Amino acid sequence: MGPPAAAGSVAALLLLAAAGAQAQANPLQRPARDAAALSGVWNGSHLEQRSNCLNALNNGFRGTYSEVRVFVDGAGRSFNIDALLAGAHF
């Protein structure tokens, strides 16, 4: 057996080893997206930009505390979002 036959047998061994190997799981893979995971109460802020206010001090960016309630109906394939803003006057 000369060098070409040895190279062929090494290549055959590598192919056999690769066929039996399985890929490792990606540790940075994003989790499955499930809308039901959004259900619950979320706290945050409602941001707005005000302009042309009667009082110039009210112009600019403002943040108001908000509470958001999310309800997901998996069977009906629908969702409802209720936002409660503290101190909001509509």
Q: Put residue 88 in one of left, alpha, beta given phi > 0 → left and psi -120 to 50 → alpha.
A: beta
DSSP, res 25:
P
Q: Which of 19-33, 45-59, 63-77 has the highest mean predicted lDDT (pLDDT)?
A: 45-59
Q: Judge whether 6 and 45 are in contact, CB under 8 Å.
A: no
Tell whether the model's pLDDT for residue 6 goes beyond 80: no
State both tokens at 13: 């061994």
- Mean pLDDT of the residues in the chain: 77
The domain spans of the chain are: 38-90
Query: Looking at residue 88, what is its pLDDT?
Result: 57
Q: What is the mean pLDDT of residues 28-51?
A: 83
